[in-house]
Each structure stands twice: as structure tokens, then as C-alpha cells.
Amino acid sequence: MPEPRPLVIDTDPGIDDALALLLAVASPEVDLRLVTSVHGNVEVGQTTENARRVLHLAGRADVPVAAGARESLVYPQPERAGHVHGAGGLGGVELPPSPAPLDPRPAVVALADLLMTSVAPVTVAAIGPMTNLALLVTGFPEAAARIGRLVVMGGSAARGGNVTAAAEFNVWADPEAAQAVLSSTVPTVMVGLDVTLPTVLPAAGIARFAAAGPVGATAAAMLGQYVQHARSSYGTDGVVVHDALALTEAIAPGTLGTVRRDVVVDTTLGAGRGQTLVDRRSVSAAATAVDVAETVDSAAAVEFLIERLQRLDRR
């Protein structure tokens, strides 16, 4: 097998963020070198703590966690998502604290340090609001230029929004940051609602990794409340684990079918705020174009996730 690719996850756990972290730890194709936290689903103090605890659950307390932005770049995020992820962010599950100390560096500094010192190109998976990434792109452009591949979970080309009629949560939470990132020349894959919403992890799949052992059972417990939310919001009998699909593309490039498109984020203060305006009239050759995920083999992606989560209890 080739050398594992260095990976950073920028995250706001968040139940599907927790699954994404577990998926990365379970995947030999990548070497998880750093986790940076960001505000989003809950406050950043909580997302930081959750990230540390999830890594400890997976036996990887050694992965450094650096705390990131506590607020969006310009306007405060109108509301958090405790009604989706539970007040603590992990579906009411209380995980044991990590014995490892918090990385003392601000997230953007830790990320820039890693990018400047890594010999191999680094993949960055951004699965929360893009505030930290925007600070990197604007404040540390030499480091941002060294990103091998940025995979973001966010936006929507043709499916509308999930938090407003127009906007997907991560972009809506900080539209100015998303615009800074998606208009940069960093090679970026946008994994939006077009591919995440059809990719439903069914209850029978959750039962398979729940039965594998304590880590799988804990992951399944976190999903209980999320199942309820998906049923009432999307009418699906299972969960849409947005962030885990983005991680699958980061781990196994080409999992999703992408097309290079010009993307602009609506940063106005009207009803469209946070919408990703994806120009689907043509394929773009611009340096700032984004590889927008438009097709997915949902059954294969779900099977990949279940099989990888089962591995965590078989090591």
C-alpha cells in the first residue's frame, strides 16, 4: 500500500463530524496529523472538547487538537444546531475526557505550521463553517498554497438548503468565510447536499457497527437523536451523515463524481444569504473553479462507512 496521505480535519462535532473523525482514524489510506475545531453546531469550547473525546474513544488521543474560531468572520451565526446534534453536540452521549493536553496553538497557526513543514501534500477536510480556512487563506497565503486538496462539506448546487430554503448549514453559518475559501485558488472539492442527502445510513447499517464492539456501540448511541431529526426533517428512515461522505472523498479521491464549476456564495443579508450559486451552465477552466460533487454511488459509500467503523473494534 502507498504511504498514507497526511490529513487535517477542521470540524465542529457534531454527530456526523464525530463519525467522520472515526472514519478517518479507521482508514489506512490517510494519516490524521491534526484536528482543528471551529464554532458551528455548538460553541467552539464544546466542539473542541468533543473532538478530543472522540479521538480518545477511537484510541487516538495522540492526534493534536487545536482550538479555532469562536465566531464567524463578520456576522455572528444566527443560531447553533443543538436541536439537531443535542445540547452537547454528540446526541446526548457523554464520552470520557481525553488524557492528552490541548494543542496550545490557535487552529490556524497549527494548520499553517503543518502545511509549511509537511513534505507530502496535505489533504484538508473542512466539515464545519469555513472560518478557520478563510483565516488561513487570507492570513497565511503561503501555507494555504501548499494544501494538496481541500474537501469541504458545504453548499448545494441544485437541492436548495437545509437550514433555510437557500442555504446549507456550514455555508450559512459563515458565508463570508465560505466565499473567501471557494473563490481562492486552493484545489477544492465541494461536497454538498446534492450528494449527501441521497446517501442515507439506514438503521440496519447502524446496527452492524453497533454490534462490532464498544466503539461502534458508542457511535450508534450518538446517532439516536440524529435518526429522529432525519425522520422529521427529511422523511428518511436513517441518517444523512454529511460529513462522513466528505471524509470518504478525502480518503478515497474519486468516490464522488465531480464537475469543475464557478461557485459564488450569496453574502447579501436577504433571503438568499448563504446560498452557493453554482454555475451549472458550463464546465469552468478558471483557477478559482471548484470541483463540485454532483454524483454519488450512495450504496457503496454507506457500505464503506459501515465496514470502516466496524474495523475500530477489530484492531
Give least dist CB 41 to ligand BDR, A.
Answer: 5
**Contact characters 106-135, Ca ion, x per CB under 5 A:** ---------------------xx-------
The three cell numbers locating residue 14: 457534531
Q: Does 24 bind Ca ion (CB under 5 A)?
A: no
List 53, 80, 149, 242, residue binding ligand BDR (CB under 6 A)? 242
Measured CA to CA, the distance from residue 11 to residue 21 in angstroms comes to 9
Judge whether 56 counts as a catalytic residue: no
Q: Which of 27, 46, 47, 162 lies at the binding interface for ligand BDR (CB under 6 A)?
A: 162
- CB–CB of 96/87 below 8 Å? no
168 binds, among ligand BDR, Ca ion, none (CB under 5 to 8 A by kind): ligand BDR
Residues numbered 215-234 forming contacts with Ca ion, rule: CB under 5 A? none
3-state secondary structure of 30: strand
Nearest position to ligand BDR, beta carbon: 169
Question: Out of 49, 174, 194, 243, which residue is the one contacting ligand BDR (CB under 6 A)?
Answer: 243
Minimum distance from residue 207 beta carbon to ligand BDR (Å): 22
Helices (H) and strands (E) counted in the chain, each on its own, are 13, 12
Cα gap 249→6, rounded to integer Å: 14
Nearer to Ca ion, 127 or 152 (CB): 127
CA distances from 281 to 91, 192, 259, 274, 278 (A): 40, 18, 11, 21, 9
CA pair distance 33, 159, nearest whole angstrom: 33
Rounded CA separation 110/33 (Å): 11
Asked if residue 6 binds Ca ion (CB under 5 A), the reply is no
Of the candidate residues 44, 63, 73, 127, the single one contacting ligand BDR (CB under 6 A) = 127
Phi-psi region of 149 (alpha: psi -120 to 50; beta: other; left: phi over 0): beta
Provide φ and ψ at 180, rounded to 5°: -60, -40
Q: What's the half-sphere exposure (Cβ side, CA atoms, 13 Å) at 198?
A: 16
Q: Does 17 bind Ca ion (CB under 5 A)?
A: yes
What's the min distance (Å) between Cβ of 153 and Ca ion?
A: 6
| C-alpha span between 294 and 192 (Å, rounded) | 8
Binding ligand BDR (rule: CB under 6 A), the pick from 151, 153, 251, 263 is 153
Q: Which of the stretches 16-24, 47-55, 256-264, 266-274 binds Ca ion when contact is defined by CB under 5 A?
A: 16-24
Tell whether residue 14 is a contact of Ca ion (CB under 5 A): yes
Supply the Cα-derived Rg of the chain in whole angstroms: 18
Q: Which of residues 73-92 bind ligand BDR (CB under 6 A)?
A: 81, 84
Preceding amide of 14 cis, omega within 30: yes
Q: Are 8 and 122 in contact (CB under 8 A)?
A: yes
Question: Exactly one of 7, 8, 14, 306 binds ligand BDR (CB under 6 A); which one?
Answer: 14
Q: Which residues contact ligand BDR (rule: CB under 6 A)?
A: 14, 16-17, 41, 81, 84, 127-128, 153, 162, 168-170, 242-243
Q: Annotated active-site positions, please?
A: 242
